[in-house]
């Protein structure tokens, strides 16, 4: 389920208490490189991201399609599934994709205390290090929910928090229909987009089927499909300060 952080004043009105100090806005976090929504530029690069896996039933055919179209992607993985399906993680790495931290239990972290937030990040980091031998560097909070404390903890552990382009939330986790997923991506594709998809949608192959249409069309339009890290660090061929 995907949502965005509510402003403090709106939350206060809904809940009937005095508003605390205003939540820092997107511009604040973007200027500090602490949260990234997209990386616009002149080059036709785009980042496909997949949340909540690994889940071999859908992740493996997604990997097959990415390989067919010479596309790279970033997989934001859940620690419990990393432990359950290490071979799929190994395949993602072997085929040049990026694996990133999406917590251990997929909790909505804005409602959790600092110790829980820390444990959710660290346990997934440890699971990935055990499988891949490398520490992940990108973090995405489940649902896109965040607060200042969570961002600070992620930064403490060496992570950049990555969300997604607001016009590229496919809602594929709802299984809205293959064509709706396709239209969302293709009708809104822009340079530097970070596209939100899921490789864990039990009992649905809609994302896989949508990719059969999305990948060749993006390729036909001249887009290079890269990892989020490549998108961040190679904006128009120049190292990005993020």
Quote the distance between the C-alpha of residue 107 and its chain's center: 15
SS3 224: strand
Residue given tokens 């396709």 in the structure block: 182
Q: Catalytic residue at 172?
A: no
Count CB atoms within 10 A of the CB of residue 84.
13
Q: How far is Cα 63 from Cα 68, in angstroms, rounded to an integer?
A: 9
In this structure, what token pair is assigned to residue 109?
Answer: 């972290």
What letter would DSSP give residue 1? Answer: -
Quote the distance between the C-alpha of residue 236 and its chain's center: 22
Question: Per-residue DSSP letters for 133-146?
Answer: SS---EE--GGG--
Annotated active-site residue in 169, 172, 198, 199? 198
Residue given tokens 């290490």 in the structure block: 86
- Contact call for residues 105 and 111 (beta carbons, < 8 A): no
In this structure, what token pair is assigned to residue 71?
Answer: 């596309």
Q: Catalytic residue at 198?
A: yes
- Contact call for residues 153 and 114 (beta carbons, < 8 A): yes
Annotated active-site residue in 51, 52, 169, 193? 51
Active site residues: 51, 198
């Amino acid at each position: 389920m995907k949502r965005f952080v509510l402003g403090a004043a709106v939350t206060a009105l809904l809940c009937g208490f005095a508003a605390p100090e205003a939540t820092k806005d997107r511009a604040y976090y973007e200027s500090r490189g602490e949260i990234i929504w997209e990386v616009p530029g002149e080059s036709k690069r785009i980042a496909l991201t997949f949340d909540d896996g690994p889940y071999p039933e859908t992740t493996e055919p997604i990997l097959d399609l990415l390989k067919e179209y010479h596309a790279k992607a970033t997989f934001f993985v859940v620690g419990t599934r990393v432990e359950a399906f290490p071979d799929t993680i190994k395949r993602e790495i072997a085929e040049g994709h990026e694996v990133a931290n999406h917590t251990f239990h997929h909790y909505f972290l804005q409602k959790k205390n600092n110790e829980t937030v820390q444990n959710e990040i660290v346990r997934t980091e440890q699971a990935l290090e055990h499988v891949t031998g490398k520490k992940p560097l990108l973090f995405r909070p489940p649902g896109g929910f965040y607060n200042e404390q969570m961002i600070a903890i992620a930064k403490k552990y060496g992570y950049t928090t990555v969300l997604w382009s607001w016009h590229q939330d496919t809602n594929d986790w709802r299984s809205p229909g293959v064509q709706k997923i396709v239209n969302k991506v293709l009708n809104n594709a822009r340079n530097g987009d970070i596209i939100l998809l899921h490789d864990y949608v039990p009992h649905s192959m809609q994302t896989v089927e949508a990719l059969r249409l999305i990948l060749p069309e993006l390729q036909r339009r001249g887009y290079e499909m890269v990892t989020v890290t490549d998108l961040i660090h190679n904006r128009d061929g120049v190292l990005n300060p993020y």
